[in-house]
Structure 1
């Protein structure tokens, strides 16, 4: 599912006030981290993740790795933070946003 620019803009505005729910630090992006983010994104649909300065990954690299592993969309990358989105099959909170 590719997001249009209007959908992406609406999701960016929704994520603007959110705090990061995960931090990627010095260690690898391993299966435990991927599973934790997968569970969180399944519950919330839209999450923000922060990459710490001591991480070996840039925010873009980490976002690309997680998007490929979790089959989700990267909405935005700014500085050391990025936003991921994966729409639920039923009862999505962002149905109105994505209908535009």
Structure 2
């Protein structure tokens, strides 16, 4: 599901006020990190992640692997921060970052 430019703009506006939920550091994408990101995506649908793994190329590889393994979409990446979206029709309205 590719996002349109209007959708990306709306999600970026929501994501601007969010704080990073998970930080990926030197150990990279461990099973525990992937589980936590999956849980956060189920609950919040739109999350911000901080990726502090080194140089630019390593960061791109980690984010690409993260998107593939979680089934999420990359809305935006700026510096060490990535904004991910994975819709959940059964998400609780009080936890979701998306308006219902």
Could you state the TM-score of these two structures normalised by the residue count of structure 2?
0.83
What corresponds to 1:83 in structure 2? 83
Give the count of matched residue pairs.
93
What corresponds to 1:44 in structure 2? 44
Q: Supply the distance in 2 between the matched residues of 1:18 and 1:95 (Cα, whole angstroms).
A: 14
1:45-84 maps to which residues of 2 (within 5 A)?
45-52=45-52, 55-56=53-54, 57-58=58-59, 60-84=60-84
Deviation of 1:61 after TM superposition, in Å, equals: 2.3
Deviation of 1:51 after TM superposition, in Å, equals: 1.3
Q: In the TM superposition, what whole-angstrom CA distance separates every residue of 1:40-89 from its partner, at most 9, and x where no partner exists?
A: 1100000000112xx2431x322211110011100000011000000112
Deviation of 1:21 after TM superposition, in Å, equals: 0.7
**4+ long deviations beyond 6 Å:** none
Question: Any idea what SS the aligned residue of 1:82 has?
Answer: strand
8 A Cα contact 2:49 2:81, kept in partner:
yes
Deviation of 1:28 after TM superposition, in Å, equals: 2.6
Deviation of 1:95 after TM superposition, in Å, equals: 6.3
Pairwise CA RMSD: 1.8
Task: Note the residue ranges of structure 1 that are not aligned, 5 or more in a row.
Answer: none
